[in-house]
Amino acid sequence: MTRRTGVVVIGGGQSGLATGYHLRRLGLDFVILDAQPAPGGAWQHAWDSLHLFSPAAYSSLPGRPMPVQAGETYPDAGHVVGYLTEYEHRYGLPVHRPVRVVGVHRAGDGSLRVETDSGTWQAQAVISATGTWWRPFLPAVPGRSDFRGRQLHTVEYRDPRHFGGLGVLPAEGGGRVVVVGGGNSGAQIAADLAYDTELTWVTQRPPRFLADDIDGRALFDVATARRRALDEGRTDTEGVASLGDIVAVPPVREARDAGLLKASPMFVRLDRDGIVWADGTRAPADAVIWCTGFRPALSHLAPLGLRGRRGRIATAGTRAVDEPRLHLLGYGDWTGPASATLIGVGRPARDATREIAELIAAEA
C-alpha cells in the first residue's frame, strides 16, 4: 500500500526536527521517517566524554531554547538527546521509527516515491536530513589490512575503560594506541586516552587549536558573518575554517597544557605491528582509532541519479539543482552555512520549507 503526504522528511535527528517545526508552522502535511528506534539522532551514539562546544543558549533549535544542564557550561550528549526527545513531543512531530528509507524515486506523475523497509510513501517534496554519522570515512592507507591490532573509527569509541575492555589493551591498563585525526574528534579522543595509554596522536598537519576563549558562540558569529558576506557578494572569508580546527574544550585544554597532546605527522603505512613513517621510523601499536571524519549518508538518493563530479549533489541553497522536489539539509556548509549545528540548522530549515510550500501552492 502506498501512503500519500505533502512532504517526507528523511531523518529524525536535529535537522529533521527543525524541518518538522517549520513544516508544522506552515501547516503542511508531512511525516518524518527515522531509522533509529529512539529519538536523538547521532547524539545517542556519541562517546561518553563528548560535550557540546557551545553553551545551551547557543545550541537551540527554532522555537524552544535548550535548557541549561545543571553543573555544566557545555551540555553533554545525553542532555542533547533529552532536549531533542522533548522537542519532538512538544511540537507533536509525526516521527515514524524505526523506518529506514531505502530509495527515493521519481514517480510517474511527477511526485517522489519513497521506498522504506516498512512500506511506500508518495510525496510532493522530500527533505533529506540523514546526517553523516552513519557513513564513517577511513582513508586508504597502505597496509591497513596487514595490521594485527584492533582498528576502530570514532563511531565505535565509548570511553577508555570500554576501550580497554575490548580486549585489545592489557587488562591492567596501559597499551599502545594510535589516534589518527587533527579535528575535534581526534583531539577529544586523544585527550580521553592520554592519561591511561601510551598514546601516539597523528595529524596530517600540525594541530590548529582555536584560541581558548573561542567556543561555539564565536564560531556561530563567524559563520553568520560569512553568510552575510556571501549573501552580499563580498569575498569569502572562509568562515570558521580560518580560525582553526580544534575547539579547546576543557578536557582538550587540560591534556594539551599537561603536555600530553603532542602530535606526530601522518605515517605512510601500517604493518603487522603498528605504524611506519616515511623515514622508516616505526611505532608499535595495539590499536588504531581512525578519527578521520564522515561523508554524507545519501545512498537512499542514488535512484535519482543526481551525483555529479566528485560524487556531490549540486545544490542551490538546500534545493537539489536537478530535482526541485528534493532538499538536502544538515550535511555541512554546502547545505547552508553552519547547517550541521544545532543553532545553525534553523535558518536553512526555514528556507527549505518555504520553498517547498511555494512549490506545493503552485501545484494546487
Ligand X SMILES: Cc1cc2nc3c(=O)[nH]c(=O)nc-3n(C[C@H](O)[C@H](O)[C@H](O)COP(=O)(O)OP(=O)(O)OC[C@H]3O[C@@H](n4cnc5c(N)ncnc54)[C@H](O)[C@@H]3O)c2cc1C
Question: What sign does the CA torsion over 257, 43, 135, 151 have?
Answer: positive
Shortest Å distance, C-beta 331 to ligand X: 7
User: How distant, in Å, are the alpha carbons of 17, 18, 133, 250 from that of 330?
Assistant: 11, 10, 12, 27
Are 287 and 177 within 8 A, CB to CB? Answer: yes
Per CB under 6 A, contacts with ligand X among 212-241 are 216
> In the complex with ligand X, which residue's Cβ is closer, 11 or 20?
11
34 binds ligand X (CB under 6 A): yes
Shortest Å distance, C-beta 130 to ligand X: 3
Shortest Å distance, C-beta 293 to ligand X: 9
Which residue in the set 185, 197, 315, 335 belongs to the binding site for ligand X (CB under 6 A)? Answer: 185
Burial of residue 359 (number of CB atoms within 10 Å: 0-12, 13-18, 19+): middle
Are 258 and 202 within 8 A, CB to CB? Answer: no
129 binds ligand X (CB under 6 A): yes
Provide CB contacts within 8 A for 216, sequence distance 6+. 52, 53, 54, 55, 58, 59, 247, 341, 343
Which residue in the set 41, 164, 181, 239 belongs to the binding site for ligand X (CB under 6 A)? Answer: 41
> In the complex with ligand X, which residue's Cβ is closer, 67 or 284?
67
Q: If we measure between CA atoms, which residue out of 119, 51, 59 comes closest to residue 83?
A: 59
> In the complex with ligand X, which residue's Cβ is closer, 100 or 269?
100
Grid cell 530535482 is found at 323
Which residue in the set 300, 325, 347, 350 belongs to the binding site for ligand X (CB under 6 A)? Answer: 300
54 binds ligand X (CB under 6 A): yes
Interaction pattern, residues 92-121, with ligand X; x per rule: CB under 6 A: --------xx--------------------
d(CA 340, CA 295): 12
d(CA 95, CA 89): 10
69 binds ligand X (CB under 6 A): no
What single string gives the DSSP state of each residue in 21-72?
HHHHHHT--EEEE-SSSSSSGGGGGS-TT-B-SS-GGGS-BTTBPPPPPTT-
42 binds ligand X (CB under 6 A): yes
Interaction pattern, residues 247-286, with ligand X; x per rule: CB under 6 A: ----------------------------------------
341 binds ligand X (CB under 6 A): yes
List of residues contacting ligand X (CB under 6 A): 10-16, 33-36, 41-43, 52-54, 59, 100-101, 129-131, 133-134, 184-185, 216, 297, 300, 330, 340-342
